[in-house]
Amino acid sequence: MDLKKRFTNAMNKNRLAHALLFLGDNQAQKEQTALDLASGLLCENKIIPFGCGHCVSCRQISKQQHPSIRILRTESEIRIDAIRDITSAPGNPSWVIPEAHLMNKQASNALLKTLEEPRNNQFFILIAPNTRSLLPTLVSRCQRIFFKSAPIQIENGSAPSIPENLSDRLELIERFSKDKSDLNQILIAWQHHASSEFKNALLKAQEDLKKHVNAQLILEALLLSKNA
């Protein structure tokens, strides 16, 4: 399901999580989507999920001037003072944190407390390249949305190699579970350098994919048992 549909469904059912975590490499796209989603939440014409784009509210948000949508800009480590500014901001605005991975541990814990007691109509959109640099409890508190990076170029078997450590493998699984054609491409590409045993596993995975077995399960079966 694409993002737009996903957000539309969630908003129609009033089930958009109050804490969202946007992951992936494409920073500009993640930030733009955060603002678009904020527009959808506050649009005077109630156009979901991304707003009408021309009411006062939508225009203020696109200029990053809406009083109810604040953006925590930072260039270095995010410390607890910044989080205190968030929690004490008058009017309980929603926040976009474009560099959430720069939060130190204290700041993360302080934000976690805030996320555990969401106020009505207050949303937090955290943006980070991946989950590794974030406090795991914070990650588990958020609804994770993975943004695909630019279309994956797989030519002549130059697929991303299979990482050695577990957290990188989980990340790869997360990334390739989203799109079956990407997954199929990478399964083919890996066959170029595979041992005969792993090649059989890859062929089996391709068959499973054709039978509509869940992509994440396929990748987990393939990668979590494999020796590096």
List Cα–Cα distances, 154 to 11, 151, 201, in angstroms.
Answer: 36, 9, 20
Verify binding: residue 205, Zn ion, rule CB under 5 A: no
Residue choice 20, 38, 58, 100 for contact with Zn ion (CB under 5 A): 58
Q: Write the DSSP symbol of residue 219.
A: H
Q: Which residue has the tokens 């890859």?
A: 202
Verify binding: residue 24, Zn ion, rule CB under 5 A: no
Closer of 52 and 115 to Zn ion (Cβ): 52
Distance CA 115, CA 124 (A): 8
Binding to Zn ion (CB under 5 A) within 59-118 occurs at none
DSSP string, 107-166: HHHHHHHHHHSPPTT--EEEEES-STTS-HHHHHHSEEEEPP-SPP---TT-PPPPPSSH
Q: Write the DSSP symbol of residue 78.
A: B
Verify binding: residue 23, Zn ion, rule CB under 5 A: no
Q: Which residues, in sequence order, are bridge partners of residue 71?
A: 96
Verify binding: residue 55, Zn ion, rule CB under 5 A: yes
Minimum gap (Å) between residue 145 Cβ and Zn ion: 22
Verify binding: residue 51, Zn ion, rule CB under 5 A: yes
If residue 70 lies in a helix (H) or strand (E), which one and from where to where?
strand 69-71
Give the number of other CB atoms < 10 A from CB of residue 22. Answer: 28
Minimum gap (Å) between residue 164 Cβ and Zn ion: 48
Convert 88-114 to b/e letters by CB count within 10 Å (16 or more is b): eeeeebbbbbbbbbbbeeebbebbbeb
Closer of 53 and 93 to Zn ion (Cβ): 53
Closer of 39 and 130 to Zn ion (Cβ): 39
Residue choice 10, 11, 17, 52 for contact with Zn ion (CB under 5 A): 52
Verify binding: residue 49, Zn ion, rule CB under 5 A: no
Closer of 60 and 206 to Zn ion (Cβ): 60
Minimum gap (Å) between residue 44 Cβ and Zn ion: 5
Closer of 64 and 200 to Zn ion (Cβ): 64
The count of chain residues that interact with Zn ion, using the rule CB under 5 A, is 6
Verify binding: residue 43, Zn ion, rule CB under 5 A: yes
Task: Tell me the window of 10-18, 41-49, 152-160, 212-220 that interacts with Zn ion (CB under 5 A).
Answer: 41-49
Which parts of this chain interact with Zn ion (CB under 5 A)?
43, 45, 51-52, 55, 58
